[in-house]
Amino acid sequence: MESTVLEREHGTAHHPHVDVGVSGMKMGMWLFLITELLLFGGMFTVYAVFHSMYIADFKAAHHFINVRIGFINTLVLITSSFFMAMAVWATQTDRRRLASLFLGLVVLLGLTFLFVKLTFEWPEKFAHGLNPGGEEFMRFVQEGHVGKALFFSLYFVMTGFHALHVLVGVGILFVMLLFALRGRYSSRNYGPVEVAGLYWHLVDVIWIYLFPLFYLIK
């Protein structure tokens, strides 16, 4: 009884479904996400400037992009974002098996996104010499279609940075999945899962902007 009173007076009592460290973790993650938004925001600005300068070239270059593959990967990431939200919910409500299942699905979908990107999409561009320094890429430059060369330069840089973020997210979530399987997360310790969810949702949001810029430009 006395210990309970002391805990309340000093603010150390644990309340069900409240992770005492989650606020600080979320604040740190939000600050990190702001820097990420500034990074990609700068890239989007560069894209907008060059697009306004070479509108015809950008539209012509779009026809080399596989819209179907981009659409498939968009669905993959949107679905993964849903499962990430479910993983946070399951952790907060002590549904540990479900939390592990949802985290596993997010990891699987993240790997699927990377598999499609690295196995189908990018190799197709390299096969046609559309990568910076490739045969077709250099032909664009020689023929004065600088806008097309800029389009594919931005394409590889921006989708490459995004893929790197997906890879990092998959790595983090895989480690968290291992911890979840060991019962480390619960309604009293859900902060890491929620913070990881914020990062993963940002990755998805960035792709939602990249998809129309490169795949639906017309």
Residue 218 confidence (pLDDT) above 70: no
pLDDT, tens digit, for every residue of 67-118? 999 999 999 999 999 999 999 999 999 999 999 999 999 999 999 999 999 9
pLDDT, tens digit, for every residue of 133-158? 999 999 999 999 999 999 999 999 99
pLDDT, tens digit, for every residue of 2-49? 444 444 444 444 444 444 556 777 787 788 888 888 999 999 999 999
pLDDT at 32: 83
pLDDT at 2: 44
Q: Which helix (H) or strand (E) holds 80?
A: helix 67-92
**Residue count of the chain:** 218
Q: At what angle do helices 67-92 and 191-215 cross, to 10 degrees?
A: 160
184: exposed, middle or buried (Cβ count in 10 Å: 0-12, 13-18, 19+): middle
- Three-state DSSP at 43 gives helix
pLDDT at 5: 41
Q: Are 26 and 198 in contact (CB under 8 A)?
A: yes
Q: How far apart are CA 188 and CA 199, in angstroms?
A: 21
Q: Are 84 and 200 in contact (CB under 8 A)?
A: yes
Domains of the chain, first to last = 20-215 (1.20.120.80)
Q: Are 73 and 116 in contact (CB under 8 A)?
A: yes
